[in-house]
Amino acid sequence: MLVLFLPLFLILILIGLPVFFATLFAPGFMLLLNDMSRDVPLLFRNIYNGIDSFPLMAIPFFMLAGEVMNRGGITIRLVNFSQVFIGHVRGGLAHVNILSSMLFAGLSGSAVADTSALGSMLIPAMEKNGYSRKFAAAITAASSVIGPIIPPSGIMIIYAYTMEVSVAALFAAGIVPGILIGLALMGVTALMAKKHNFPIAAEKATWRERGSATKLAILPLLTPVIILGGIIFGVFTPTEASAIAVGYALFLSIWVLKTVKVSDLPSIFTKSAISSSVVLLIVGSAIAFKTVVSLSHAAEDLAGLVLAISDNPLILLLAINILLF
């Protein structure tokens, strides 16, 4: 009976209950129903235990770094950098959207930050340029998934913490797939641009203009180099790297570019804290959820079900992915 918390959880998600509450209510309700009320306190205890982790401190720091850079106008510099190099091709703004997402991914590591930073700027610009609002929103959403793949990545930090694997190895492994996803999106966009005759965003920029845009974007673009290089060569841990990313973002925005004032910091910190708390609460509730998964032996039962389907490794891989989906 306890294993029924899994379908109950899915039902709660489908009817629109926030993930945090669904993750706690489904297992908690089934524990009470199965006369296991003594285990209910484990849920609440593990919410705190799941968040109380030094590696997870990197998540709010990276989100803060992304917010500082976004507020400091660095996003605009990345968009302009993308524009001068690829804006002159057919479907230019769609390509600029994708390339900007790839560049911004190296600063924030968050799909939400990517969407909010670039979407508010590029979706209206694409509409004005002749794209439909649906397509502009779709290309922004599709390209924003690169955020958690190209390092630094909040999801990779959570995965490394949960599975006890190297964050540096995950960061290094995310670079090539992230770039390939971006290039694949550009390839599809190029085919659609030719078929639907998408507009050209701007005249081809001169090398002088490209050099000027590169000069303005080079300091922000050094952020992932500093973070990844420092982690891989053992200069600092991923958590320390996240704090360095914040320090570098503040240094650029306040003293170098002078686009952020000290009086702006409280609102930046508040917005980052709210965004981080949403992520960390879900992480904590997921740890609590995992406790009930262990108590119910659901993982072993599902593994046995999958292994009973076939001995073919490819079919097993397909079945596991369907189950995960």
Between CA 83 and CA 302 the distance in angstroms is 49
Q: Write the CA distances from 228 to 85, 101, 157, 163, 245, integer angstroms.
A: 25, 18, 13, 21, 11
pLDDT exceeds cutoff 90 at 83: no
Q: Which residues of 112-148 are buried (b: 16+ CB within 10 A; e: fewer)?
A: bbbbbbbbebbbebbeebebeeebbbebbebbbbbbb
Q: Of 110, 19, 100, which Cα lies nearest the Cα of 58?
A: 110
Condensed to tens digits (0 to 9), the pLDDT of residues 195-236 reads 888 888 778 888 888 888 888 888 888 888 888 788 878 788
Between CA 319 and CA 310 the distance in angstroms is 9
Q: Report the Cα 107 to chain-centroid distance in Å.
A: 11
Which DSSP category does 55 fall into?
G
CB 268 within 8 A of CB 71: yes
Which DSSP category does 152 fall into?
S
Q: What is the pTM of this model?
A: 0.73
Please state whether 297 falls in left (phi above 0), alpha (psi between -120 and 50) or beta: left
List residues bridging with 200 in a β-sheet.
90
CB atoms within 10 A of CB 105: 31
Instruction: Please give the mean pLDDT across all residues of the chain.
Output: 83
Please state whether 132 falls in left (phi above 0), alpha (psi between -120 and 50) or beta: beta
Domain ranges of the chain: 2-53+279-324, 55-270
Share of the chain above pLDDT 90, in %: 7
pLDDT exceeds cutoff 80 at 296: no
Condensed to tens digits (0 to 9), the pLDDT of residues 95-153 reads 988 988 888 887 766 777 677 777 878 888 888 888 888 888 899 888 888 888 888 88
Q: Which residues of 75-104 are buried (b: 16+ CB within 10 A; e: fewer)?
A: bbbbbbbbbbbbbebbbbbbbbbbbbbbbb
**pLDDT value for 270:** 92
pLDDT exceeds cutoff 70 at 2: no
List residues bridging with 90 in a β-sheet.
200
Which DSSP category does 197 fall into?
T
Token pair for residue 137?
A: 């929103």
